[in-house]
Each structure stands twice: as structure tokens, then as C-alpha cells.
Amino acid sequence: MASATGPDADSERRNVSDAAGIVVLGLCAAWSLITAALHDGRPEGVLLAVLAVAAGYASGRISGALVPVAAPCAGALAGLGLALAEPHLAPGPQFVVPLGHAGATAALLTVAAGSACCAAWAATAPALRLALGLLAAGITVTAAVLDSSTGFVLCTAVLLCSLAAGRLRHRGPGIAGLGLATVLVTGMSWALAGNVLPDGLTASLAGQLTPHRIQLWQDALHMAHQDSSTGVGPGRFGELSSAAAEALLPDGKPHSAPLQLAAEQGIIGVLLLAAAYGWILHALWRTTRSTPIALTAAAALTGLALVASVGNALSFTSVSVGAGFLAGLATSHPIAEDASRSRPDAHARGDRLAP
């Protein structure tokens, strides 16, 4: 019989984590439909994002179990290719920094760098590990070449976190710190929208984020206060925001995922978004993969969360798929590990049965 910390316990943890993810994503989809019905909204965007995350997660779990090194390597190359092609693939107005495709490019490069680092940690051959590490460094350099300062900073942070993770024995404090960073950045965006920060700090941040983005956030917060329970309805921010209507190239988004959900789906929508992020961090904390892989994926996904809290990255399907794929890779259970664990047990049983 397996012990409480053996394979049966690992399988039970994975089943509980998967069930929690299904519930959270299902609630996100259901709540978008409910709020859309109440306010004549358009839930298609939210439903597409939920479907993209779920599809990416399932693909990552399956491919990570079958080819734990090749899958994240392919994901890194795909993310790099999409980051290069994103402005030409997505329809609609081509926003310049710091709105629009700039955030999607930074998010894709961050996820690609995280995937390359995960592939390096999964590899056993020193030469292959070095090559995959160089791939991650190359993605970081590409961010600088593309003039994506946010992507360069986040890719560099992922690389440093991945290197530091190799020296850590416990992943809990690291994952908790990454979660705290997301909370702080999200809180900053809400504080800017509510105009509660000191004037000097507000002016400095507004100069980096642009006054137009701050006006979008203020409109989103105003809508959230009007109907804090259900919001104004999915997809209706652009119709009701004066700042969005005055933009030269309006896209109907407040360029902050938490504030958009607060405006369009109320406080419950924000709590569901937080639950989805918390579920991913919990799954990475409980995964049977190595600590460097878990922390590297957590760092990359936290970088994506930071971009989404002050930008429009989650409006791009490729970003949502990439996030789900990386989370699935880092929580997969490689079949080769099961085989390597079972062989010693078989030998031991053979020794006990031998005359």
C-alpha cells in the first residue's frame, strides 16, 4: 500500500487541483453570462479567454507528460514567433506604447522566456540545458531589439528568478512573494484610479502610464461604484466611457484586467479573476515537478499578471493560450518519471521473491 506521501497522495493532489481549476473557470464563464443577461452585454470576449486558458492548460498537461523537454522548448519558440508577428495578426487599431500590442508582445516574450527556462531545467544533458538557457537569453535580447522595455525587464526578471530557484529548497515563500507583487501592482492601479496617492507619486506614475490610461481607469472605477455587484455588463465599457470615446483609436478597453472586470462584472468578477490566479499559484506550489520549474513558471505567469493589471494583454487570445500552456507544462506529470520510479520497486519486489 502506498504511503500518505507516495504516488496515491500525489495523484489525489493533482485531482483536487484540477477539480478546483474546472470550478473556477466554469464560474468565470457562468458569471459573464449572468452579467451579460442582466445588462444586455457581450460575454464573447470573456468566454473566449476562458476557453483559451483551458485549452492551453490541457495542451500543456498532455504535452508536458509526453515530452517534458521538447514541449516547453516548442512553446518558447511559438511564443517568440507570435511576439514577432502579433501586431500583424490581430485585427483592429495598432496602438503604440504603452497601449495595445506592446503589452501583448511583452507578455508573450515573458511566457516564452519562462518556457525556455522550464525546458532547460527539465533537460538532463548539460549541453542541451546550456542550449535552452541560451534560448531564454536570446528571447530576452529579442525583447530589447524590439524596443519592448517592459518585455526586457520581465524576461530578465524571469531569468534571474529561474537561476535563484535552483538554489532554493522550498518553493512556498517564493510563490507567496510573487503573489504579493501582483497584489501590490494591482493595488497601485486602483489607487491611481481613485486618486489617493501623493501628488508627486501620481504625477510620476501618470507620466509613465500616460494620462489617457489613468482616465480610462477612473472611468472603470466610476462604473464599478455605480453597480458594484454586477457591473455594467461585459463588453459595455467602451459604450459608457467618455475617455474611451475621446481616444483617437478607441478599442473599448480600460487597459487593466482587474478594473475592466470591476466595471463590467462587479466585485464578483474581480474575485473570480483573483481566484483563477490563486488557483494557478496553488497548483504550482503543489506540483510534483521540481522547484526550479515551478518557481520559473510562477515568475513568468506573475510577469504576465503584472502586464495585465496595467495593460490589455489578456484581450489577445495568444496570450491567454500561452499562459494556460505554461501552467499546464509546470503542473504536468511526465510519464518517464513514473516509469523510473516503478522500476526500482519492481527490482525490489524481484529481490524479495528470489530464492
Q: Which tens digit of pLDDT belongs to each residue from 145-169?
A: 988 899 999 999 999 999 999 888 8
Q: What pLDDT digit, counting tens, does each position of 296-330 carry?
A: 999 999 999 999 999 889 989 999 999 999 999 99
User: Would you say how long the chain is, in residues?
Assistant: 355
Inside any domain, residue 217: yes
| Higher pLDDT among residues 245 and 65, named by residue | 65
Identity at 135, one-letter amino acid code: L
Mean pLDDT of 97-109: 73
Q: How far apart are CA 119 and CA 69, in angstroms?
A: 5
Q: What is the CA radius of gyration of the chain?
A: 21
Indicate the pTM of the whole model.
0.89
Question: What pLDDT does residue 15 have?
Answer: 74
Inside any domain, residue 348: no
Mean pLDDT of 99-120: 88
Choose among 288, 331, 299: nearest CA to 174.
299
Inside any domain, residue 202: yes
Q: Is the pLDDT assigned to residue 215 strictly greater than 60?
A: yes
Concatenating the DSSP letter of every residue in 50-117 gives HHHHHHHHHHHHHHHHH-TTHHHHHHHHHHHHHHHHHHHHS-S----TTSTHHHHHHHHHHHHHHHHH
Q: Is the pLDDT assigned to residue 93 strictly greater than 60?
A: no
Inside any domain, residue 77: yes
Question: What pLDDT does residue 341 have?
Answer: 55
Inside any domain, residue 91: yes
Question: What pLDDT does residue 141 have?
Answer: 96
Q: Determine the 3-state secondary structure of 119 from DSSP.
A: helix
Inside any domain, residue 134: yes
Lowest mean pLDDT among 56-65, 141-150, 271-280, 337-346: 337-346
Question: What pLDDT does residue 79 have?
Answer: 95
How sure is the predictor about 23, in pLDDT bands with cuts at 50, 70 and 90?
A: very high
Does 98 sit behind a cis peptide bond, omega within 30 degrees of 0 on the bond before it? Answer: yes
Choose among 253, 112, 281: nearest CA to 183.
281
Q: Is the separation of the CB atoms in 106 and 316 below 8 Å?
A: no
How sure is the predictor about 182, in pLDDT bands with cuts at 50, 70 and 90?
A: very high
Question: What pLDDT does residue 208 have?
Answer: 84
- Write down the mean pLDDT value for the chain: 87
Q: What residue numbers bound the domain in which 327 lies?
A: 7-343
Question: What pLDDT does residue 86 have?
Answer: 65
Question: What total number of domains does the chain contain?
Answer: 1
Q: Is the separation of the CB atoms in 224 and 231 below 8 Å?
A: yes
CA dihedral 101, 107, 109, 110 (to 10 degrees): 160
Q: Is the pLDDT assigned to residue 350 strictly greater than 60?
A: no
Lowest mean pLDDT among 29-33, 133-137, 168-172, 263-267: 168-172
Task: Count other Cβ atoms within 10 Å, centred on residue 120.
Answer: 25
Lowest mean pLDDT among 70-79, 255-264, 285-294, 341-350: 341-350
Q: Which helix (H) or strand (E) holds 235?
A: none
Give backbone dihedrals phi and psi of 95, rounded to 5 degrees, phi first: -75, 150
How sure is the predictor about 12, in pLDDT bands with cuts at 50, 70 and 90?
A: low
